[in-house]
């Protein structure tokens, strides 16, 4: 396996893991819970999902996919409803699948090419890493909000022994 193929597979795996965790979190929440804010300084799960879709679209789909950037970032945080948890999950899953398709089609030269996105200058590799870590960061927030609202373990790794030591 070559380095580029492995990189693409690892990015896809991490994106799928975040989607799995967001989906498990959403299963625990009611429709009302989706748009609740713990306080005025936090975002709702709904806002975070809309924000994730906006960020992934701007960075990966538009930038790496050579499409027009139509993102309205402020709107991602100002909406307070209008999408059900099923609609939010469908939107997120569609966005992630599109991101993975764009990343999987990129050539080595496109991964190395620098682009200006949201005022930052990143290579395609940097953009793929940003999208992955940004998704993971907000997945943690969604999990934390879900645990706060429901006071329960989300079972992300149920059935796995996470105490197994590393092996060669």
Break the chain into its structural domains and give their ranges: 3-25+42-150
Structure-token pair, residue 165: 């030591």
Helices (H) and strands (E) in the chain, counts: 7, 2
Give residue 168's pLDDT.
80
Structure-token pair, residue 143: 């999990």
Asked if 134 contacts 109 with a C-beta cutoff of 8 angstroms, the reply is no
Residue 7 scores a pLDDT above 80: yes
Residue 46 scores a pLDDT above 90: yes
Q: What is the pLDDT of residues 115-158, one digit of tens each?
A: 999 999 999 999 999 999 999 999 999 999 999 999 999 999 99
Top-level CATH class of 3-25+42-150?
mainly alpha
What is the rounded distance in angstroms from the CA atom of residue 117 to the CA atom of residue 123? 10
pLDDT-derived band at 163 (thresholds 50, 70, 90) equals very high
Extract the runs of DSSP E, i.e. beta strands, from 7-144. Answer: 114-117, 120-123
Asked if 20 contacts 113 with a C-beta cutoff of 8 angstroms, the reply is no
What is the rounded distance in angstroms from the CA atom of residue 123 to the CA atom of residue 137? 21
pLDDT-derived band at 107 (thresholds 50, 70, 90) equals very high
Q: How many Cα atoms are found within 13 Å in the side-chain-facing hemisphere of 118?
A: 16
Give residue 31's pLDDT.
96
């Amino acid at each position: 396996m070559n380095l580029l193929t492995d990189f693409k597979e690892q990015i896809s795996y991490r994106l799928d893991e975040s989607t799995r965790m967001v989906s498990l979190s959403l299963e625990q929440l009611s429709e009302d819970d989706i748009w609740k804010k713990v306080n005025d300084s936090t975002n709702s799960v709904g806002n975070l999902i809309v924000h994730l879709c906006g960020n992934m679209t701007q960075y990966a789909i538009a930038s790496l996919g050579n499409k027009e950037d139509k993102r309205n970032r402020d709107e991602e945080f100002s909406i307070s409803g209008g999408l059900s948890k099923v609609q939010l999950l469908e939107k997120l899953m569609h966005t992630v699948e599109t991101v993975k398709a764009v990343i999987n089609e990129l050539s080595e030269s496109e991964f190395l090419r620098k682009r200006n996105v949201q005022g930052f200058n990143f290579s395609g590799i940097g953009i793929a890493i940003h999208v992955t870590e940004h998704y993971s960061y907000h997945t943690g927030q969604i999990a934390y909000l879900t645990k706060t609202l429901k006071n329960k373990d989300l079972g992300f790794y149920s059935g796995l022994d996470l105490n197994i030591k590393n092996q060669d």
